[in-house]
Amino acid sequence: MVADIGVINTPTGQRSGATNIFRRTGTIWRQEAKILGPVYPQLQPTSAVSVSGDSVAIGCQNDSNSVANVSVYIRKLSATGVPFWQKQAQLKGSATSIRFGRSVAIDGDTLAAGEESPTKGDVLVFKRTTGIWSQQSKLVPVTPLTANIVDFGNSVALNGDTILVGTQNLSASKDIKRVYVFQRTISTWSEQALLTDPKNIGSNGFGFSLDISGDTAAVADMPLNYGGGGKIGTPGAFDVFKRTGSQWSLLSRINTKSSEEVFGSGVSISGNTLMTTRMNIFRPTPRQTEVYRVIAP
């Protein structure tokens, strides 16, 4: 959710889905649009969504790069003042990729989308100029991935000239988990830093979800396979990182109260306010959302 616009994805069938757009007027939320996804074999519909101002980006990943896409919709007003959402662009991934749009982030006139590729994944960055979207860059890690660190672009977050890129770790006990930070200077993107699991004590889901606001980043550490790929009894957590100049450092690590609980199926940060989910892995319902305030030292 951004300001007065909220977006919720819902499945409509085995091979399709819908994106529901809500707008707040005062304290009342009303549905403003419902965008139906295409129906294709092996489609994972509306798998990722991001909103910025009056623009919504919707990812539809697929094993075929001819089908996978990211669609951008913009809010407009009719001649009589009735709001509607119109597709502005449909972006495509690289020729050798699959599942383009598995992760999506939009901020202003910049959009980032993850895809799987022969090199363990990459992130395409697009720039909008006078309503036209074009690819600006392809992000790949300068610091090499390892045998256990895969799925570069599994998650993305974007704020201004900074992009966070998550990976997936196949083993909780091997290799330092990491999130890549890329910074744009004019129109050139370069790797700025690695955010890492401080003591490599967490799960294999470090970076499963993440977000950034200004110079503060939040990274969830959610076990992806509790008691399997993750360490047995490893509690969920999330880490808050702070940037000073171009240097990132760990500000705080928040752990769950029980080894049966996990954070991080979703994490969001705006300014100094952070929201994340908490659930019991053995009792998935009810879940709860917790709000934290980030206080810099």
C-alpha–C-alpha distance, residues 30 and 257, integer Å: 36
Instruction: Give the percent of the chain with pLDDT over 70.
Output: 72
Instruction: Between 47 and 20, name the one with better pLDDT.
Output: 20
C-alpha–C-alpha distance, residues 153 and 114, integer Å: 5
Structure tokens at 173: 């006990």
Give residue 121's identity as a one-letter amino acid code.
Answer: G
Asked if 167 and 179 touch (Cβ cutoff 8 Å), the reply is yes
Report residue 32 CA to chain centroid gap.
Answer: 24
Q: How confident is the model at residue 4 (pLDDT cuts 50, 70, 90)?
A: confident
State which residues form the domain around 79.
5-293
What is the tens place of the pLDDT at every residue in 25-68? 888 888 888 887 665 544 454 468 899 989 999 888 765 666 67
C-alpha–C-alpha distance, residues 111 and 105, integer Å: 6
User: Which residues share a beta bridge with 276?
Assistant: 267, 290
Asked if 159 and 137 touch (Cβ cutoff 8 Å), the reply is no
Instruction: Between 203 and 180, name the one with better pLDDT.
Output: 180
What is the tens place of the pLDDT at every residue in 102-157? 899 999 999 999 988 777 789 999 999 999 999 999 999 887 777 666 788 989 99
pLDDT of residue 13: 52
pLDDT of residue 287: 62
C-alpha–C-alpha distance, residues 114 and 139, integer Å: 9
What is the tens place of the pLDDT at every residue in 161-184? 999 999 876 665 555 678 999 999
Report residue 1 CA to chain centroid gap.
Answer: 13
Reported pTM = 0.86
- How many structural domains compose the chain? 1
pLDDT of residue 143: 77
Rounded to whole angstroms, what are the CA distances from 15 to 40, 157, 198, 211, 236? 6, 26, 40, 29, 32
pLDDT of residue 231: 46
Q: How confident is the model at residue 229 (pLDDT cuts 50, 70, 90)?
A: very low
Give the CA diameter of the chain. 61
User: Which residues share a beta bridge with 38?
Assistant: none
Give residue 33's identity as a one-letter amino acid code.
Answer: A
User: Which residues share a beta bridge with 12?
Assistant: none
Asked if 260 and 250 touch (Cβ cutoff 8 Å), the reply is no
Q: How confident is the model at residue 226 (pLDDT cuts 50, 70, 90)?
A: very low
The answer on pLDDT for 286 being more than 50 is yes
The answer on pLDDT for 278 being more than 80 is no
CATH code of the domain covering residue 241: 2.130.10.10
Instruction: Between 172 and 228, name the one with better pLDDT.
Output: 172
Asked if 57 and 89 touch (Cβ cutoff 8 Å), the reply is no
Strand, coil or helix: what is 292? strand
C-alpha–C-alpha distance, residues 270 and 157, integer Å: 12
Q: Which strands make up the sheet holding 28-36, listed edge to edge?
A: 5-13, 16-25, 28-36
**Which residue in the block uniquely carries the two structure tokens 């900074």?**
162
In the DSSP assignment, the letter for residue 4 is T
- The HSE-up count of residue 102 (CA atoms within 13 Å, CB side) is 25
The answer on pLDDT for 279 being more than 50 is yes
In the DSSP assignment, the letter for residue 130 is T
Please give the mean pLDDT across all residues of the chain. Answer: 80
Instruction: Between 201 and 6, name the one with better pLDDT.
Output: 6
Rounded to whole angstroms, what are the CA distances from 59 to 45, 56, 80, 223? 8, 10, 31, 24
Q: In the predicted model, what is the mean pLDDT of residues 81-110?
A: 89
* Strand 247-255 with 237-244, pairing: antiparallel
